[in-house]
Structure 1
Amino acid sequence: MNFKQLFTEDRAVSPVIGVILMVAITVILAAVIGTFVLGLGDQVSETAPQAQFTFDYDSSAYDLTATHDGGDPIEANNLVAVGDINSSQAASEVEDDGTVNVAMSAGTSVVIETNAVSDPTVRLTWQSANSDKTATIARFG
């Protein structure tokens, strides 16, 4: 047996490594293409906006004014008022279920009618339009 020939001959190594590399590249490409075809690529990068709000409560009218002070803008219908809100609100900016119909950006305000309680608790919650993600943006009370 010639040991020198055994260590220098590598004919079978090259095809095996080539097949392994081709399978790995195929699996990676299939995963990337499958992610975007199934629509998962949009949800991966979706995060809640970062925004600051100030609140002004008028206890005589039970109105809570939420003002967007800065940060990321929030699209209409992605912001929901949750808590001690009046379910039959007269304000056209907020639906009966608390959905805010106004796109909120710096300087924009929305009036939320609250229940007749002394210290209402209201949360402004962001809801994603593409998935079931939610996040509390601001809280009063």
Structure 2
Amino acid sequence: MNIKNLFGDEGAVSPVIGVILMVAITVILAAVIGTFVLGLGDQVQSSAPNANFQFSYDSSAESFTITHNGGQDVEASNVEVQVNGDDAQAWADGSGSSGTISTGSSTAFGYNGNSTGVPSAFSSGSGSDVLVIWSAPNGGSSNTIGSSTIPN
């Protein structure tokens, strides 16, 4: 047995492996570029922030305050407050800021139509659900990131 002939035909292996690697790289690049060209890249990256909110109620003033109590910062322009499922107002419509909602940021609204001391009020009242709703900047999806119920 001639050992030289046994290992002498390895020249064709290297070009085959090279072609396979080039095809794989081309497919991966095409998939990544296609994802962003079709606009799917923004939807993949738009997930609801992980934020905690504290709700406090003042029954004598018929108002409530929502305070960002920790977690990720949230853009105020992407957040609305909804009472009783149909009455919605932007976070900044309350006494809150229109910039970034960070830990310690708060906004206040009235309820039962009372806007004394607050810039805006909801028509619903006691027993109504209060939701903090985040909407994706590109309009793709929305999630409830905080909830409470106005006490009786």
TM-score by length of 2: 0.67
Does the CA-based 8 Å contact 2:56-2:66 persist in structure 1?
Answer: yes
| Counterparts of residues 58-137 of structure 1 (less than 5 Å) | 58-84=58-84, 87=87, 97-101=88-92, 102-103=98-99, 104-114=101-111, 115-137=123-145
Aligned length in residues: 131
Deviation at 1:10, TM superposition (A): 4.7
User: How many angstroms apart in 2 are the aligned matches of 1:85 and 1:39?
Assistant: 31
How much identity, in percent, do the aligned residues show?
Answer: 49
CA RMSD of aligned residues (A): 2.8
Tell which deviates more after alignment, 42-51 or 19-28.
Answer: 42-51
- CA gap 1:78/1:9 in 2 versus in 1, 3 angstroms: same
Give ranges in structure 1 of 5+ residues lacking alignment.
Answer: 88-96
User: How many angstroms apart in 2 are the aligned matches of 1:52 and 1:137?
Assistant: 7
Deviation at 1:85, TM superposition (A): 7.8
User: How many angstroms apart in 2 are the aligned matches of 1:77 and 1:84?
Assistant: 21
Deviation at 1:17, TM superposition (A): 3.5
User: How many angstroms apart in 1 are the aligned matches of 2:147 and 2:47?
Assistant: 19
**Structure in which a larger fraction of residues adopt strand:** 2
TM-score by length of 1: 0.71
